[in-house]
Amino acid sequence: MTHRVLVVTAGLTVPSSTRLLADQLAEATSAQVGARGESVEVEYVELREVAGELATFMTTGGIPTPRLTELRERVSAADGLIAVTPVFNASFSGLFKMFFDALDPDALTGTPVLVAATAGSARHSLVLDHAMRPLFAYLRAVVVPTGVFAATEDFGSHGLSDRITRAASELASLVLSQGDYGVGGFAPDLAARPRRTPGTQVESDVTPFGDLLRGHTGSDPR
């Protein structure tokens, strides 16, 4: 069985340390899934390529472009997510936040997520626990225990390699357990598996706006 892992990276330059870390995490996750006798298909989303479309989404009241609609569907269909951002002013980048603000609230329900960040200094390492984990907890994702932070001097170090391997192993375990919806040793009934939706389809039972206003005169009942 082939599993799909989506890598969302918010690096702004080419090349970027953010994309470099994302590549290392994706490769390690593929290796960990392969070691368990399964295969994985890795897809990338470079947020700088859709920065203008995200701005359009925000300034038009949430109307997605065709490209953004496609990305929203890819997110909700993924078996796992690797989310990597550069750090600006002690938090994730605005571009990173805009993308996850543009998702449907149910797009990541129950999805295993590996969080990672890059910065020029180790002083920013708390971004994983103070900013990224709360964001994905709000979206009801399942964040793996090990987050990966990489300051400039960390690249090439054994410490970073060890953290990458450990985080990838945790993500691989959760991705492979998706068939039974087993998370952290718990395996609820399949009927209880959360419903993920990209939010790109209009429900068939939407009440017409005219019906909602029927009987209202426009006067304030107070």
- CB-based contact 17:152 (threshold 8 Å): yes
- CB-based contact 149:128 (threshold 8 Å): yes
* Pairing between β-strand 2-9 and β-strand 148-151 as defined by DSSP bridges: unpaired
Q: pTM for this one?
A: 0.83
For 42, 43, 144, the CA distances from 23, given in Å and listed in that order, are 10, 11, 18
User: Burial, 112: exposed, middle or buried (Cβ in 10 Å; 0-12, 13-18, 19+)?
Assistant: buried
- Residues in contact with 54: Cβ distance below 8 Å, sequence separation at least 6, in sequence order: 47, 68, 95, 98, 99, 102
Q: What is the pLDDT of residues 52-65, one digit of tens each?
A: 999 999 999 999 99
d(CA 124, CA 147) in angstroms, rounded, equals 13
Tens of each residue's pLDDT in the chain, 222 residues: 799 999 999 999 999 999 999 999 999 999 999 999 999 999 999 999 999 999 999 999 999 999 999 999 999 999 999 999 999 988 999 999 999 999 999 999 999 999 999 999 999 999 999 999 999 999 999 999 999 999 999 998 999 999 999 999 999 999 998 755 444 443 344 344 455 666 655 555 667 767 767 766 666 555
- CB-based contact 144:174 (threshold 8 Å): yes
DSSP assignment string, 94-130? HHHHHHHHTS-TTTTTT-EEEEEEEESSGGGTTHIII
* Pairing between β-strand 91-92 and β-strand 80-88 as defined by DSSP bridges: antiparallel
d(CA 27, CA 118) in angstroms, rounded, equals 17
Superfamily of domain 2-213: Flavodoxin domain (3.40.50.360)
Tell me, what's the pLDDT at 1? 79
